[in-house]
Amino acid sequence: MSSSVSARGLALAYGDTVALEESDFRFPAAAVTVLIGPNGSGKSSVLAAVAGLLLPESGRLRVLGGDPKQMRKRVAFVPQSTKVNDVLPVTVREVVGMGRYASLGLMRPFGDRDRRVVQAALERLDLTELAGRHLWELSGGQRQRVFVAQGLVQERDLLLLDEPTTGLDLPSAQVIDDVIAAEREAGRAVAVTTHDFGEARRADHVILLANRVVAEGNPDDVFTPSNLATAYGLEVSDLVDHVDDAAHQPAQTRHRHIEYPPI
């Protein structure tokens, strides 16, 4: 099976703070990969490295067959906390449209196709009726859908989403889940970070992190008592009580997830 991302002996750090010890992992092509682990386990750092925003300390990282920095134009990255100044007079449509500038360049005017791509993303994320509103008028879930739409309009081969559904209301989370499934069905690779075991169990490929790769592969093979105890430092019975807190409710009670067909 081909890979959209492959790492060998990859180590990541922020100054003296180690984010990821030397590890091997892969993201399969045309599949949904979930990265899961405790807070501070390196999930967001891995996505930043794949997006070409964090240089490896050591090891080898290949993204879509090339160097991450050289592949930036083929990767869309939606960070966990996208910062936008609330006082800026920008509408939802304008924020989504900003995603097109990554390909167009700031000086090139929008064409008919650009407008069609933006409109399609607004429709997919159920934002059409909100297109003329300003970000400060939106709920947290609506904002998150705006930033996912901004990622979609870039039309990239690899979509990286950092905790896209954490703490969202049911409708917003379901819309984002549907988009992830549709991207996968269209033959694109998607990587998602989460704390939600229900979400992770429905992925094609799982990477369990604890500042290193504890295990990766099929969810059933990854989520063994031994692996979970290693990653979380808890007995499995305690793990269930501690991981699914108010901010990371289990998928079964928070919203319906898509069952992805076998790859």
Position 7 scores a pLDDT of 98
Structure tokens at 177: 């889940």
Give mean pLDDT, residues 224-237. Answer: 83
Question: What is the Cα–Cα distance from 205 to 47, expressed in whole angstroms?
Answer: 15
Question: What is the Cα–Cα distance from 51 to 67, expressed in whole angstroms?
Answer: 10
Place 235 in a pLDDT band, splitting at 50, 70 and 90: low
pLDDT in tens, 47-96: 999 999 999 999 999 999 999 999 999 999 999 766 666 667 889 999 99
pLDDT in tens, 75-86: 999 997 666 666
Query: Is the model's pLDDT at 252 over the cut of 60?
Result: no
In DSSP notation, 132-164 reads: TSBGGGS-HHHHHHHHHHHHHTT--SEEEEEST
Please report, as a single letter, which amino acid is at residue 79: P
Question: What is the Cα–Cα distance from 60 to 147, expressed in whole angstroms?
Answer: 30
Please report, as a single letter, which amino acid is at residue 113: R
Domain 3-87+160-254, CATH 3.40.50.150 — does that match?
no
Beta bridge partners of 66: 63
The number of C-alpha atoms within 13 Å of 176 and in the hemisphere containing its C-beta is: 31
The number of C-alpha atoms within 13 Å of 39 and in the hemisphere containing its C-beta is: 8
